[in-house]
Amino acid sequence: MSSKTKAIIKEWVQSIVIALILALTVRTFIVQAYKIPTGSMKPTLMPGDRILVNKLVYRLHPPERGDIVVFESTIEPRKDFIKRLVGKGNEDLDIVNGNIEINSEIITSPDIFSRIYYYRKGDFISGKDKVHIPPNYYFMLGDNSLHSNDSRFWGVIPEKNIKGKAFFIYWPISRIRVLNAKEND
């Protein structure tokens, strides 16, 4: 093999290694793609939607009410779920007549909360007056309340399990859009 051929091969190998390192770094620390497997977040996210999740944002500031969050399940370790963040640490949460109450006040912001009827069902919330969310924990609900297995069933999610914030649907083409809790999802 000539020295010119060896130099070309070496250059290609170096380029591929650098590209792999960059791709793994981006996927691990910055942005990751996910496919939505179920209808628990309808109408915001549909089964088969492909989304991008910002994994850096929560290193800069804490999650906010209304964010669509990807987190590691507490009941099925190594499995990621996606739900909407509804309650934060040191809050008392209840579901009354289809509305979410935080510290005995109905929440309507972001707007999505006033458009969804939330069902008060599930082992974690049934039979309790209110759910107290401990510090550094979050209460997550699916937008498709009747057909979502969420914090009402398996409890609160520790902050350490949160992986990132969903911010963009990139597939299918007809559904491409930015996800923003402050707007109508």
The predicted-structure confidence for 71-119, as pLDDT tens digits, reads as follows 999 988 889 999 999 999 999 999 999 999 999 999 998 888 888 999 9
- Dist CA 66 CA 41 (whole Å): 13
- Dist CA 168 CA 171 (whole Å): 9
Answer yes or no: 83 catalytic. yes
The answer to whether residue 164 scores a pLDDT higher than 90 is yes
The pLDDT of residue 185: 45
The more confidently predicted of residues 1 and 38 is 38
- Dist CA 66 CA 87 (whole Å): 9
**Catalytic-role residue among 55, 83, 88, 165:** 83
The DSSP bridge partners found for residue 171 are 50
pTM for the predicted model, two decimal places = 0.84
Query: Is the separation of the CB atoms in 94 and 113 below 8 Å?
Result: no
- Dist CA 57 CA 118 (whole Å): 28
Q: What's domain 3-178's superfamily in CATH?
A: Umud Fragment, subunit A (2.10.109.10)
**Catalytic-role residue among 40, 145, 148, 151:** 40
Cis peptide before 110 (omega within 30 of 0): yes
Answer yes or no: 160 catalytic. no
The pLDDT of residue 22: 64
